[in-house]
A and B are shown apart, each in its own frame.
Chain A
């Protein structure tokens, strides 16, 4: 049906100025357009970025070596600030992963068509973000070679993990989350691997993608099961994503520390996770769609919608900050009140105010449709939001710890080069993995996009332009 897209220009809808899909290509053209980047050998820019990322991975290796060789004493942590950078980054990375699941699973259940073009980006991001997150608790153990003690196995010592501890819940939550995300991601990839196999031009590609596609041949008998299993996994991933960040927040909320011991934490953390995750999706997708030439598939509509979600979740986070401060004073507890005042005026006040600026003020830009229409503006705002959300976790953790109940044990925290290197190293690990994914995987779900295209074309009154499909220029 290639010529069906040659339709008269639709009247612009003031509420939805951009189409979901504006590609002039029919199915074969879509394959060619979306797989071109995978077929080509890597260019100079790719090698440059990959080399940079790999050098950061080298830094990570050094920092891990130092940590394992000399222990967590090489970090800035001490008593009372026994948790700092590593846990901040653990929460930050996990949160980033959540937007991926939200886009791929929650938006699928809500029949949001715009999710189709960006879901593989987001899911891929989730996987790598959870890998980065998973490193930190293990590095932080002090005796990382005993990490397997968290797993309930019949040990000769006859003891078991203590299942009433949120730290053990965390182990189950994060490993389940990683497994389910991986299964969901791979299940969606199989038909696209088959498509890549069948349009591959080199024999090694045909072979590798042939094996990865598990012999998928697109039979109606198979699609029926695939659709059902895919939808069910989406349904399972949706409550999972909420539970995982709630459990992460319970690492704090179950402790009796002022600033941590609060029932608001689970919803507050989940909203923050979605907020920061969407910011990172925007940070990655805006340059990627430009360099890969995917503007017709990842359109202004996607960026517009992502900006709106950041605006909404930004307000939820703002509400949580307000509520947290109110409850501190309302409790009448001197320790709680001291914490709230100290957070805004004490040693880490700068971090707190920058956090408030990035997370509460910056997203207000998205009220303007001009800002939502400008990829560069969204990109800059998304970077600030990433910074703000990192600082949020940092202030939550450090300000609650560094002023202990006894003033004699007060001590400020500052990171060492090992802390910083671990953080930069995971950033490098993440970007190296992401660059590999861009090069070797169908990063836009082709089969889902073709289905969407037919849906958009067929679900329309006769003679009218289908909603969401742009006319051919």
Chain B
């Protein structure tokens, strides 16, 4: 990935950060992000983020898992090596329900878990925003608004001034490969 520049501003409360995001958006800044210790209600709409696609992944995982669970049992006990147990038919659908259900849940959960890391592009060892001094507070009690852009195109002066005007108690600029 190419080098990108980030201008970060630290805000003391979620409400101040949301207000600042609204103003920045109105001023025409694009490529905004908010880093917060907990999910801030309303930030998704302001940042214009599309709804997460994880539910679709989970549905697919669950359906695939349930299908796989049933076919597995059918293949083993009815097709490859038919077994007669307790006079039940080889393809004993009611007896196959529990494992079908469990395998469905298992695959759906795996889809949710790994889908999350795929969607967030984590795990990663480093990100340029971590270089901003004081950024540790983003997981403690502060709300950091980040304006990103290509190093040549981003007007850092303007971004820094805007963030400071909106009440950021700290403004930092970093550059690096995200």
Interface residues of A (CB under 8 A from B): 1, 26-28, 31, 152, 158-166, 168-169, 172-173, 176, 179-180, 183-184, 186-187, 191, 194-195, 197-199, 214-229, 232-233, 236-237, 239-240, 243, 247, 250, 446-448, 450-451, 454
B28 sits at the interface (CB 8 A): no
Query: In the complex, which residues 122-147 of chain B have their Cβ closer than 8 Å to any Cβ of chain A?
Result: 122-127, 129-130, 136-141
B173 sits at the interface (CB 8 A): no
Q: Are B36 and A220 in contact (CB under 8 A)?
A: yes
Q: Are A172 and B139 in contact (CB under 8 A)?
A: no
B62 CB to nearest chain A CB (Å): 8
Q: Are A220 and B39 in contact (CB under 8 A)?
A: yes
Q: Are B13 and A1 in contact (CB under 8 A)?
A: yes
- Chain A residues in 8 Å Cβ range of B136: 198-199
Q: Are B76 and A163 in contact (CB under 8 A)?
A: yes
- Chain B residues in 8 Å Cβ range of A220: 33-36, 39-40, 43-44, 47, 49
Query: Which of the residues A1, A163, A172 comes within 8 Å of B77, measured between beta carbons?
Result: A163
Q: Are A221 and B39 in contact (CB under 8 A)?
A: no
Is the interface on chain B under 10, 10 to 19, 20 to 34, or 35 or more residues?
35 or more
- Chain A residues in 8 Å Cβ range of B55: 228, 232
Identity of the chain B residue whose Cβ is nearest the Cβ of A445 in the assembled complex: B38
Q: Are B99 and A221 in contact (CB under 8 A)?
A: no
Identity of the chain A residue whose Cβ is nearest the Cβ of B17 in the assembled complex: A220
Main secondary structure on A side of the interface with B: helix
A28 CB to nearest chain B CB (Å): 4
Instruction: For the complex, give the distance between the alpha carbons of A197 and B137 in Å.
Output: 11
- Chain A residues in 8 Å Cβ range of B140: 27-28, 31, 195, 198-199
Interface centre among B92, B109, B119 (most CB of A within 10 A): B109
Interface centre among B13, B38, B55 (most CB of A within 10 A): B38
Query: Which of the residues B88, B95, B122 comes within 8 Å of A216, measured between beta carbons?
Result: B122
- With contacts A220-B43, A228-B52 taken as known, whether A158 is within 8 angstroms of B117 at the C-beta atoms is no
Q: Are B38 and A224 in contact (CB under 8 A)?
A: no
29 A-B pairs (CB sep. < 8 Å): A160-B77, A160-B81, A162-B83, A163-B77, A163-B96, A163-B99, A164-B95, A169-B99, A173-B102, A183-B110, A187-B112, A191-B38, A215-B127, A217-B127, A218-B36, A218-B37, A220-B47, A223-B43, A224-B39, A224-B51, A224-B52, A225-B120, A229-B54, A229-B113, A232-B55, A236-B105, A247-B98, A446-B37, A447-B139
Instruction: For the complex, give the distance between the alpha carbons of A236 and B105 in Å.
Output: 6
Main secondary structure on B side of the interface with A: helix
- Chain B residues in 8 Å Cβ range of A191: 37-38, 139
Closest 4 CB pairs of A and B: A27-B141, A160-B76, A214-B123, A198-B136
Q: Tally A-B pairs: CB < 8 A.
A: 198
- Chain A residues in 8 Å Cβ range of B130: 217
Q: Are A215 and B139 in contact (CB under 8 A)?
A: no
- Chain B residues in 8 Å Cβ range of A194: 139
- Chain B residues in 8 Å Cβ range of A28: 137, 140-141
- With contacts A169-B98, A232-B55, A236-B105 taken as known, whether A164 is within 8 angstroms of B37 at the C-beta atoms is no
B4 CB to nearest chain A CB (Å): 14
Q: Are A225 and B119 in contact (CB under 8 A)?
A: yes
Given contacts A446-B37, A447-B37, A448-B38, 20 further A-B pairs with CB under 8 A are A159-B81, A164-B85, A169-B102, A172-B102, A173-B102, A176-B103, A179-B109, A179-B110, A183-B109, A215-B123, A215-B126, A217-B129, A220-B34, A221-B49, A225-B52, A225-B115, A228-B52, A229-B58, A240-B105, A447-B139
